[in-house]
């Protein structure tokens, strides 16, 4: 028989255990309401149709170049984007290594405990609900921050970890890697009633059965698969350690590798790392078992290179999981998953010609390249073997951003080139339009974007100053989607 307080709570949330943090929720006073932006954390609106009714917060270091990686960080139940920004350590390494971080936030309007819906097919499957909203945030970052679509990663704690696994399964074409902290295997539950069983001990399925749940999330997809890190405390009685085993079985099976580690070693904080290599000998899956740790994200406050974060509710002072996760993904400049050096970026990338519907590109050859990957606005569009490519089916009078990476014989793409912007011809019959507004309003209207607290005009990327309501500029749009500062006078003809 449940005590009255638990009976009321279970009726209120339709099985609070299914939300992934019941025990922890009853022992904390952490706020479950939306948080105001803190420090460099900025709220972003208008990022898409937002079917999951989420809020988007982002941190982009000042001076970040185009084609930088992107990390999506998902908070746990009763937490906020601001708390995850403040305590997880991700801003430190965003500054050190150079990448943007998006912090999605759900609220009590979606779920009474502010949990992501990792157990709800209407929220955690491809094209649905919260999962679709998060992918819209990724697309916004690619368009507005110039984030590299090949290097998008997702991480999360507890319910955020469960949603991370679901996102990796539903969108392996979007996320190059993931990190699940005290979380659940992908599609462990498809209803609230089944979720509590996952939390305290998931089904005893074979690796192939766990892997089938991933394969069924995006039928027909055959790879490449995301590289997955799994963090788990051995004394976690909220999300039991059996979930880490299920996650390992699931993702090693997806990769087609065994469940016997290729290597193990000991890290700070009584942490055992087990590495599972892919066919090329590079780590595809890594598990981090933290002896004696309860439910939470491992952090290690301090100023050392391998330290990060702040101790708080569910941020436990043991080891900086963010550092090791970032290295595993290659955010420190190494090869994702470890291994040898990447091919260098092609030089001399340039637009050699444009029409109203095409852009022709060329670049210098890279020794050792079997092919090249061409990216438009952060998304891969072609894999030519030659050093030229013509992009077709474009819109007249529109600016497009391109980068190129060399691909080796194993199919591994190297470092992306510097970005080149090309504008298709045509569209000249439409008169230019001028807009005078504050920097904040220009961003809100989609005519400019932010980076590191500053505002830049879309298309021309001209610096407009600080992101606030006190700075006003006139922007001239011509062609469509391409804006330039025109404070000294704006001819509209």
Residue 357 has pLDDT above 50, yes or no: yes
User: Minimum mean pLDDT among 110-114, 181-185, 224-228, 455-459: which range?
Assistant: 455-459
- Best CA proximity match to 267, nearest among 278, 258, 275, 259: 275
Name the band, by pLDDT with cuts 50, 70 and 90, for residue 492.
Answer: low
How confident is the model over 480-491, as pLDDT tens digits?
Answer: 778 888 887 776
Reading phi first (left if > 0) and then psi (alpha if -120 to 50, else beta), residue 266 is in beta
| For residues 443-460, average pLDDT | 80
Would you call 105 helix, strand, or coil by DSSP?
A: strand
- Best CA proximity match to 84, nearest among 323, 314, 288: 314
Residue 21 has pLDDT above 70, yes or no: no
Q: What angle do CA 391, 392, 398 make, to 5 degrees?
A: 85
How confident is the model over 92-114, as pLDDT tens digits?
Answer: 999 999 999 999 999 889 998 99
| For residues 45-70, average pLDDT | 94
User: Minimum mean pLDDT among 127-131, 301-305, 341-345: which range?
Assistant: 341-345
Mean of per-residue pLDDT scores for the chain: 86
Residue 453 has pLDDT above 90, yes or no: no
Range(s) of the chain covered by CATH 2.60.40.10:
350-423
Catalytic residues: 158
What pLDDT is attached to residue 413? Answer: 75
Strands 55-59 and 70-74: unpaired
What is the percent of the chain where pLDDT is above 90?
57
Q: What is the DSSP letter of 97?
A: I
Range(s) of the chain covered by CATH 3.40.50.1820:
19-329
What pLDDT is attached to residue 48? Answer: 95
Give the span between the Cα atoms of 291 and 235, in whole angstroms.
7
Q: What is the DSSP letter of 267?
A: E
Q: How far is CA 485 from the centre of its chain?
A: 32
Which CATH architecture describes the domain 19-329?
3-Layer(aba) Sandwich (3.40)
Alpha helices by DSSP H, 21-120? 22-25, 81-87, 90-93
| For residues 341-355, average pLDDT | 82
What pLDDT is attached to residue 491? Answer: 64
Instruction: Please indicate whether residue 194 or residue 232 has the higher confidence score (pLDDT).
Output: 232
| For residues 46-74, average pLDDT | 94
Which CATH architecture describes the domain 350-423?
Sandwich (2.60)
What pLDDT is attached to residue 166? Answer: 98
- Best CA proximity match to 210, nearest among 254, 263, 150, 180: 254
What pLDDT is attached to residue 157? Answer: 98
Name the band, by pLDDT with cuts 50, 70 and 90, for residue 210.
Answer: very high
Name the band, by pLDDT with cuts 50, 70 and 90, for residue 411.
Answer: confident
């Amino acid at each position: 028989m449940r005590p009255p307080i638990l009976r009321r709570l279970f009726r209120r949330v339709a099985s609070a255990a299914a939300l992934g943090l019941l025990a922890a929720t009853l022992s904390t006073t952490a706020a479950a309401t939306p948080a105001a932006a803190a420090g460099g954390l900025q709220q972003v609106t208008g990022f898409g149709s937002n079917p999951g009714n989420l809020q988007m917060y982002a941190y982009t270091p000042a001076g970040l170049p185009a084609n930088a990686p992107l990390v999506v960080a998902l908070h746990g139940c009763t937490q906020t984007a601001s708390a995850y920004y403040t305590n997880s350590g991700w801003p430190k390494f965003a500054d050190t290594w150079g990448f943007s971080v998006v912090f999605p936030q759900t609220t009590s309007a979606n779920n009474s405990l502010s949990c992501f819906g990792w157990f709800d097919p209407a929220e955690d499957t491809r094209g649905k609900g919260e999962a679709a909203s998060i992918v819209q945030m990724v697309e916004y970052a690619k368009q507005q921050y110039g984030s590299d679509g090949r290097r998008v990663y997702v991480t999360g704690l507890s319910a955020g970890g469960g949603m991370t696994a679901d996102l990796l399964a539903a969108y392996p074409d979007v996320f190059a890697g993931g990190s699940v902290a005290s979380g659940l295997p992908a599609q462990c539950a498809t209803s609230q009633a089944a979720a509590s069983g996952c939390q305290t001990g998931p089904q005893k399925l074979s690796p192939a059965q766990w892997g089938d749940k991933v394969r069924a999330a995006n039928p027909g997809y055959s790879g490449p698969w995301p590289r997955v890190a799994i963090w788990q405390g051995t004394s976690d009685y909220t999300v039991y350690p059996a979930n880490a085993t299920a996650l390992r079985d699931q993702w090693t099976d997806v990769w087609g590798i065994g469940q016997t580690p290729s290597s193990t070693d000991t890290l700070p904080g009584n942490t055992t790392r087990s590495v599972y290599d892919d066919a090329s000998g590079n780590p595809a899956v890594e598990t981090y078992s933290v002896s004696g740790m309860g439910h939470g994200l491992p952090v290690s406050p301090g100023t050392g290179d391998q330290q990060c974060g702040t101790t708080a509710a569910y941020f436990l002072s043991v080891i900086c999981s963010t550092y090791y996760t970032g290295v595993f993904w290659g955010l420190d400049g190494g090869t994702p998953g470890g291994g040898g050096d990447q091919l260098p970026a092609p030089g001399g990338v340039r637009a050699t010609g444009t029409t109203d519907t095409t852009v022709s590109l060329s670049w210098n050859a890279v020794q050792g390249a079997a092919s090249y990957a061409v990216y438009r606005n952060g998304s891969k569009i072609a894999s030519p073997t030659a050093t030229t490519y013509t992009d077709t089916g474009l819109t007249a009078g529109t600016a497009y951003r391109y980068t190129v990476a060399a691909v080796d014989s194993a199919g591994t793409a190297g470092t992306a080139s510097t970005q080149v912007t090309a504008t298709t011809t045509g569209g000249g019959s439409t008169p230019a339009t001028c807009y005078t507004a504050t920097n904040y309003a220009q961003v809100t209207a989609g005519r400019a974007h932010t980076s590191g607290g500053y505002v830049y005009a879309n298309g021309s990327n001209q610096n407009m100053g600080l992101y606030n309501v006190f700075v006003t500029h006139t922007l001239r749009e011509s062609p469509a989607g391409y804006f330039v500062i025109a404070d000294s006078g704006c001819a509209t003809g």
